[in-house]
Amino acid sequence: MAALTLRSWPFPENHEAELVWFGSPFMDYKGNWRIRLAFKTLAEGIKVVSYPWGTIPYLRIGQIYSNGAYDQIRPMNGSAFHFTIDAFNQGTVTNGFKLPKRLIDFGKNPELGLQNIIQYQTNGLTYCIPVIELIRALFINSRYLAYYLLQPHGLDLLIDNSYWQGETLHFDLSNRVPAKLATDSNVRHLSWIYSDPMIRSLWDSVYQNMFGQAVKSSPYNPTATLKKGVPLNIDLPPLGPIEMHTRGVQFIDYVLVKEIIAIGGFQHPSNEILFWHPSKKRREWSSGDKTIRMIPGSKNTDFVLNDQSDNAKEDSNQDILETSPTIMRFANYPVVETRRSSVRHSNTGNEVIVSTGRGGKHAAASKEVSTQDSVVGGDTPPIDFQTLETIPASEAIGLEPFFQMIEMLKKTVSVNVRMSVVRVPPGRRFSVCIDGSRRTCAIVQLTNRASTSYIVEVARPDNWSISTLILRPMNQSSFKVIERNIKQLLDGLVQKGGHWDQYVLNRCRDLNIEKVKHYQNDSVKEWANRLISKLH
């Protein structure tokens, strides 16, 4: 899977740095929005750096970076927590300095400690959600949404027209939405924000609170405050109950939520959406020759962030980088249909290769990209992200029983648990669940004083028959070796159509691999007990 390397990178070569916290978004001297990030290294402690605000969909607290590249397989710090809040507005907004230091220590850095968090009390625990993480999970699934969130009436710039005809919502996107992001999933998401009064109010409150604070601090020059940075805040609506699947860390009765993996409990205003986008054309076929243009670049290449870019080029067909998705579930699941008014002619004959022009097949090459806002005449090709998947309420993310089992395991065995959720590689029918969403996989690292082991669990929302894997490294294998083996296992899984490839299992000579079968009548407790017996 393609990856994004952050440049510039202020840490020594091959030194690992963990993303531990978000600071404030701020305007630089050129008027471009940026976001402060706090990284922690063993050698330097916490260091605050900044990157373009449009990079935020790619970032998660707990990610481990080396030479600017995020390790996509290495489990991130934290355990799975599943909880339900009665309503958004029942939370208490406070700041990070109110968190126990055993959860996170900002070292008296006001930029970090003054960031807002929302505290919810449920089932005897206090869940602390960073405001910026809640905003990311609800709204920022792409670079363009990140920038329009920080503009007055930014949402209106993305929608050309929206009206009801009977029970059908007609929803026309503007050409500001990249063609590759004019998808059913994004239409459900954007139309929900635009059409639901409570969600629309929550969206608007992000900019209104930030600009209001800037005016309060600098009545005659609010831009001066925006250049310093303002901690994000939101107005919480009386909307609920809301269900969350998260990754977090716990100290006594406090849980710091580092990532919202899935969020649900919403009702979409419409059950049927008819949408239009300038790129949606009715295709007509003819028997002429197909013209194939060879240009630099590759759909599967890795990307390097150009941090010196003033603005990205305007490009409706920009590259899209897939990242770990936030799953959003609606109580209803709107059917999306596309209105196609104009015609696109396509040929079905022989391929004829030409060496000039744009588009077509690509030759392999690395690519420098920008996550800055796009303007006509920009200096660097843009890149956007696809990070949100909407699924019906009947279709959980497929890992809920596994998360419950891990929580039970934590209470039974004295281990340090780190977890990461990734998507299985694309390319086969097994990669996609019945509803069209990509299948996910949980990788859990269990560490005690004596050893470290890994659990690999593939999501089974369709009750697919596939065993849980327990991986025990041998000969003190480095994590790079373990990572390579896990990647090979997942690639082999997909190529085998959803079954562990015995040939690949045998090739992982650095790991002792044991399969644990799923039994249909297993309770979560029975499943946990069987895994615990295997781990001893």
DSSP string, 122-157: ETTEEEEEEHHHHHHHHT-SSHHHHHHHTSTTTGGG
Q: Which two tokens stand for residue 448?
A: 């005690």
Amino acid at 154: G
Return the SS3 of 508.
coil
Distances (CA, A) of 15 to 11, 19, 43, 44, 489: 7, 13, 9, 10, 27
Predicted local confidence at residue 190, as pLDDT:
95
Q: d(Cα 151, Cα 155) in Å, to the nearest integer?
A: 8
Burial of 39 (0-12, 13-18, 19+ CB in 10 A): buried
Give just the sign of the alpha carbon dihedral 331, 436, 62, 226: negative
Q: Which long-range contacts (CB under 8 A, 24 or more apart) does 92-99 make?
A: 92/118, 92/119, 93/117, 93/118, 93/119, 93/131, 93/233, 93/236, 94/119, 95/231, 96/21, 96/130, 99/128, 99/254, 99/256
Pairing of β 342-347 and β 281-286: parallel
Return the SS3 of 212.
helix
Q: d(Cα 355, Cα 292) in Å, to the nearest integer?
A: 8
Predicted local confidence at residue 96, as pLDDT:
94
**Residue 160: closest CA among 194, 207, 186:** 194
Predicted local confidence at residue 345, as pLDDT:
41
Q: Which two tokens stand for residue 350?
A: 């022989």
Q: 276 and 341 in contact (C-beta within 8 Å)?
A: yes
Q: Which two tokens stand for residue 52?
A: 């373009």
Pairing of β 295-296 and β 362-363: parallel
Q: 137 and 110 in contact (C-beta within 8 Å)?
A: no
- Count the Cβ atoms, other than its own, within 10 Å of residue 474: 10
pTM: 0.85
**Residue 142: closest CA among 206, 57, 61:** 57
Alpha carbon 290 to chain centroid, angstroms: 37
Predicted local confidence at residue 346, as pLDDT:
47
* Residue pLDDT tens, the chain, 536 long: 578 899 889 999 889 999 999 999 999 988 899 999 999 998 888 999 999 999 999 999 999 999 998 887 778 888 889 999 999 999 999 999 999 999 999 988 999 999 999 999 999 999 999 999 999 999 999 998 999 999 988 899 999 999 999 999 999 999 888 888 888 999 999 999 999 999 999 999 999 999 999 999 999 999 999 999 999 999 999 998 999 999 999 999 999 999 999 999 999 999 999 999 988 765 445 555 555 554 444 444 678 988 888 888 877 778 888 787 788 889 888 899 988 765 444 445 555 555 544 444 444 456 888 888 877 778 888 887 877 778 776 665 788 888 888 888 888 888 888 888 887 887 788 888 776 777 888 888 888 877 888 999 998 888 888 999 999 888 777 777 888 888 899 999 999 999 999 999 999 888 889 998 888 788 888 888 888 888 76
Mutual angle of helices 524-535 and 400-412, in 10-degree steps: 60
Q: 171 and 160 in contact (C-beta within 8 Å)?
A: no
Q: Which two tokens stand for residue 427?
A: 């390319």
* End-to-end CA separation in angstroms for the chain: 35
Q: 329 and 392 in contact (C-beta within 8 Å)?
A: yes
Amino acid at 251: F
Q: Which two tokens stand for residue 321?
A: 């980088």
Predicted local confidence at residue 448, as pLDDT:
80
